[in-house]
Amino acid sequence: MRTQFDVIVVGAGNGGLAAAATTARAGLSTLLLEKHNVPGGSASTFRRGRFEFEPSLHELCSVGTKENPQKIYNIFKELGCEIDWRYEYNTFRAICDGEDGYDVKLRAGFDNFCDDMEKAVPGSRESVKAFFDLVKKNDEALAYVYEKKGNPNPLVMLFKHADFLKSASHSTEEVEIALGMPEKARNIMNTYWGYLGVPTDDLNAMHYLSMVGSYVDDGAAMPYKRSHELSLALEKSITDAGGEVWYNAQVSKFLYKEDGSCCGVQLQDGTELYAKEIISNIIPNNVYGMSDPKFVPEKELKLANARTLGMTFVTIYVGLDCSKEELGIEDYTIFKMPFPNPREQFNRREEGTYYVFNCLNEVIPDASPKGTCMLFFTVPLMPGDLPENLTQYNYKKWKNELAEVYIKDCEKSMGFDIMSHIEEISVATPVSFARYLGTPNGEVYGYQNENWDSVINRSQAQFTDFTVPHLHYCGGHSVMGDGFSSAYITGHDTGIRVVNSIKGGK
Ligand SMILES: Cc1cc2nc3c(=O)[nH]c(=O)nc-3n(C[C@H](O)[C@H](O)[C@H](O)COP(=O)(O)OP(=O)(O)OC[C@H]3O[C@@H](n4cnc5c(N)ncnc54)[C@H](O)[C@@H]3O)c2cc1C
C-alpha cells in the first residue's frame, strides 16, 4: 500500500473535493481521505421510501450560466465537471407576522428587485438602487485587489475604490442606514441573514452585499440530481486525474516533524500516511484535538477560543403524496419570520417560528415521482440552543414535537394542508450534524462571521493566523465563511496555493 503522496486532503466535503481535484489535475499525487463511504459531507443525498432528499443545499450563489459564467461555474468547468444546473429566478418570498408584518416576493434581476421593493416599501427605490451600485463598486474593488494578489496600491484604492474602503469595515445595517434605506426595506433586504448565520447589525457589509448581489444578479442555481451530483462530479475529476479517494478512512491524528511542520496523518486503524502538503477540510478545533499539543501554536488556540462557533440547524424533510399544485405551492423559497428585525429574530429565536420553507419541485418538477412533492424546512439554531434536559430517551419526542410546531405554523400562515399528506418525514438536528460531519456541537457553518472575524479580516490575516508549515485549511470554516460557494472557492484557491508551493510557481 502506498503511504507517501504529494498532497493529502482530509475530508471530502465541498472544500476538500475542490482542493483534491485541483491538486490531482495539476499532476500532483493526491490522496483524499473521508470517514464516510460517500463523498460530499453536507453536499449529499438520502432516500426515504420513494423520495430522494437534498439534505442541505437551498440555493447556490455565484454560479451564473454558460453565457454569463460566474466563479463557481468556472471552477467546475476548470475541474472538468459537467453539471446540469437548474435555476430559480425569484430571490425569495418573505412572510413576517405581527403589526409591522408583510408578505412580499422579490424577483431576481436588479431592476425587478428594485421594482418589487418599491411596491412593498414606497420611496425605497433610490436607496435599494444605491445598495446594488455599491455591490458593483465592491466587485470592481475586489477584482483589483485580486489582480494585485492581495497587495493593492493604496493610492489606487483611495482614489478609485473609496466607496469600498468606506463601507468594507462597517456592518451591513450601518451601510444601509448611510444609504438612506427605510427600516422596512432594510428588514426585507436583510432576510438572507439566516444564510450566513449572523444578524445584519454585526455582519460585514461587503460580505452581505456581495452575497445578495450574486443572488439578485444571476438568480440561484441548483444541480438537477441534488448536491450529490456536484460531489460525484468532483470525485470523478480527482480519480480521472490519477488521484486516490479512500472512503471509510477516518483520520485520528495529524503527524508533525520535530521542527513543528505537519508531515502526515494517522488513520483510526493506525496506518500512517505522509505527504509534502496536508490540506484540512475539517475545522481547526478538531485538528488541534488530533495533534500533539506541543505542535499547536498558542496563537492559533487563542484564535479558536476567541471565535464563536457558527450556526446549526434543525431540518425537516417531508415527502408528500400529492403534487405542489394540489397544495397551492407557487414558491421555491419562503422565509417565515415572527419579527421583522434580524437582530430580534436572532435574539428571540427560541420564542418564535423563524424558518426557511423550500419546495424543490418548484425548480426541478421531476425531483420526486409524479403526483408527489418534497418540502424542506430549515430552522436556525446556535450551538448550545438544545434543551438542557435533552437525553437519548426524550430526543425523538423532542425533535418530532418541534417538527410538528413548524409544519403547523406553515399550514396556518401559508395555507398548505401538509399533515394529511405526509408519506415520509425525517428530522435532522445538531445531533445528526455532529455525528455525520464530526463538527463541534454540530455546527454546519464553521465559525460565526461576526464583524470582527469577517471575510475581510480573515483574508488579511490568513497567512499570519495559521502558521504551521505544510498545513492548510479550506472549507466552510475558513477564510470566506460558510456556504457551498465559499467552500468550493477556498478549496480551489488552497489547491492552487499548494500546487504552487510544490511546483515552485507563484
Ligand atoms: C441543512 C444545511 C443547509 C445548508 N444550506 C446551504 C445553502 O443553501 N447554501 C449554501 O451555500 N450553504 C448551505 N449550507 C452550508 C454548506 O453545506 C457548508 O457551508 C459547506 O458544505 C461546508 O463544506 P465543507 O467543505 O466545510 O465540508 P463539510 O460539509 O463540513 O464536510 C467535511 C467532511 O470531512 C469529513 N470528515 C470530518 N472529520 C473527518 C476525519 N477525522 N477524517 C476524515 N474525514 C473527516 C466529513 O465526513 C465530511 O465529509 C447548509 C448546510 C446544512 C447542513
Q: In terms of DSSP bridges, do strands 102-107 and 90-96 run parallel, antiparallel, or are they unpaired?
A: antiparallel
Kindly state if the Cβ of 447 falls inside 6 Å of ligand 1.
Answer: no
Residues 388-395, mean pLDDT to the nearest whole number: 95
- Cα torsion angle, 403, 409, 415, 420, sign: positive
Whole-number Å distance, alpha carbon 291 to ligand 1 midpoint, is 22
Q: Which three cell numbers stand for residue 331?
A: 414558491
Check residue 435 and give its pLDDT. 95
For the segment 155-176, what is each residue's pLDDT rounded down to a tens digit? 999 999 999 998 888 999 999 9
In this prediction, what percent of the chain has a pLDDT beyond 70?
Answer: 100
Interatomic CA distance for residues 386 and 445, integer angstroms: 17
pLDDT band at 263 (very low <50, low <70, confident <90, very high): very high
Kindly state if the Cβ of 43 falls inside 6 Å of ligand 1.
Answer: yes
Residues 377-392, mean pLDDT to the nearest whole number: 91
> Do 430 and 383 touch, CB atoms closer than 8 A?
yes
pLDDT band at 260 (very low <50, low <70, confident <90, very high): very high
Whole-number Å distance, alpha carbon 181 to ligand 1 midpoint, is 35
Ligand 1 atom at minimal distance to the Cα of residue 445: 19
Model confidence at 335: pLDDT above 80: yes
> Do 204 and 449 touch, CB atoms closer than 8 A?
yes
Residues 358-364, mean pLDDT to the nearest whole number: 97
Interatomic CA distance for residues 145 and 199, integer angstroms: 27
Interatomic CA distance for residues 18 and 4, integer angstroms: 21
For the segment 283-294, what is each residue's pLDDT rounded down to a tens digit? 999 999 999 999
Whole-number Å distance, alpha carbon 444 to ligand 1 midpoint, is 6
Beta-bridge mates of residue 86: 222
Model confidence at 420: pLDDT above 80: yes
Kindly state if the Cβ of 282 falls inside 6 Å of ligand 1.
Answer: yes
pTM for this prediction: 0.95
- As a whole number of Å, the end-to-end CA separation of the chain is 33
Kindly state if the Cβ of 251 falls inside 6 Å of ligand 1.
Answer: yes
For the segment 95-153, what is each residue's pLDDT rounded down to a tens digit? 998 888 999 999 999 999 999 999 999 999 999 999 999 999 998 998 898 788 778 89
Q: With residue 86 as reference, give the H or E element that holds it.
A: strand 85-88
Check residue 142 and give its pLDDT. 86
For the segment 42-88, what is each residue's pLDDT rounded down to a tens digit? 999 999 999 999 999 999 988 998 998 999 999 999 999 999 999 99
For the segment 7-54, what is each residue's pLDDT rounded down to a tens digit? 999 999 999 999 999 999 999 999 999 999 999 999 999 999 999 999
Check residue 230 and give its pLDDT. 98
Ligand 1 atom at minimal distance to the Cα of residue 36: 47
pLDDT band at 463 (very low <50, low <70, confident <90, very high): confident
Q: With residue 337 as reference, give the H or E element that holds it.
A: strand 333-337
pLDDT band at 505 (very low <50, low <70, confident <90, very high): low
Ligand 1 atom at minimal distance to the Cα of residue 58: 8
Check residue 506 and give its pLDDT. 56
More reliable by pLDDT, 353 or 32: 32
Three-state secondary structure call for residue 260:
coil
For the segment 201-239, what is each residue's pLDDT rounded down to a tens digit? 999 999 899 999 999 987 899 999 999 999 999 999 999
Q: Is 505 exposed, middle or buried (0-12, 13-18, 19+ CB in 10 A)?
A: exposed
Q: Up-side HSE of residue 81: CA atoms within 13 Å toward CB?
A: 28
Q: Which of 137-151, 170-184, 316-330, 465-479 has the lowest mean pLDDT?
A: 137-151
